[in-house]
Amino acid sequence: MALPLSLEFFPPKTPEGASRLRAARQQLYALAPEFCSVTYGAGGSTQAGTFATVQEILAEGVAAASHFSCIGATRAGVRAQLAQLKAMGVKRLVALRGDLPSGYGMGGEFQYASDLVAFIRAETGRDFRIEVAAYPEMHPQARSPEADLKAFAAKVQAGADSAITQYFFNADAYFRFVDEVRAAGLELPVVPGIMPILGATQLLRFSDACGAEVPRWLRLRLQGFGDDVASIRAFGLDVVARLCERLVAGGAPALHFYTMNQGAPTLELCRRLGLGQA
């Protein structure tokens, strides 16, 4: 299956985590990813770790995309960070509004991700390929599906090149979203974000927090395995592999894997799918 794929990591918080991530990346590079992205904490709280991890990936000879959030940011600060990323050799950004750190007011000079995209384009022209987020099951803070689509369109019209979705387990949600994007006259690629199932409790808690729907049948099956992690992972591999097969058959332009800084789950999933060189 010749399909582009990309991988997402988060900046490690400890030296041990950094070592584990380096080992996982070396495993995953066998998949020949188009690029690897690195996430950004609430309010830019992991910026140093994000940029350091991006620098490592670039030094390993792989294209790297930095997440870049704008909540609480100033134009001067963003301008300086863009110059830093450009000097590092970064060619791709994932532009996000981002989450506020707990206890903080809105602040900053950017209200929406579309404001950030427009600013990056105005400041740097075509120096960066800009990815934006998409929510097939609606952003958890959106007032309605119509408002959510309007917000997405604003990011595209501001200069986004392509979109990566929040993870989901219902392929119909993705296909419906793409249909609505096309009906709105937006032609950019919408790449599905894929979350390997590594465990039940954390996945269900995280999904509830970020608005990703876990279908009732899947939730009950996962809970039914109790603490049997091996069975959860084997079952999850089947579920996510079938999801990916359906997405690819339906015309998804690429797949973006949320690796959770682990190599084996994404490698096994890609082997099942015949993706990459693994």
| Cα–Cα distance for residue pair 249/54, rounded to 1 Å | 32
Q: Which positions are catalytic?
A: 8
DSSP the chain: ----EEEEE---SSHHHHHHHHHHHHHHGGG--SEEEE---GGGTTHHHHHHHHHHHHHTT--EEEEEE-TT--HHHHHHHHHHHHHHT--EEEEE--PPPTT----SS--SHHHHHHHHHHHHTTSSEEEEEE-TT--TT-SSHHHHHHHHHHHHHHT--EEEEEE-S-HHHHHHHHHHHHHTT--S-EEEEE-----SHHHHHHHHHHT----HHHHHHHHHTTT-HHHHHHHHHHHHHHHHHHHHHTT-S-EEEE-TT-SHHHHHHHHHHT-TT-
Q: Is residue 66 a contact partner of residue 90, using CB atoms and an 8 Å limit?
A: yes
On the CB side of 164, CA atoms within 13 Å amount to 29
Q: What are the two backbone dihedrals, phi and then psi, of residue 121, each rounded to the nearest 5 degrees? A: -65, -45
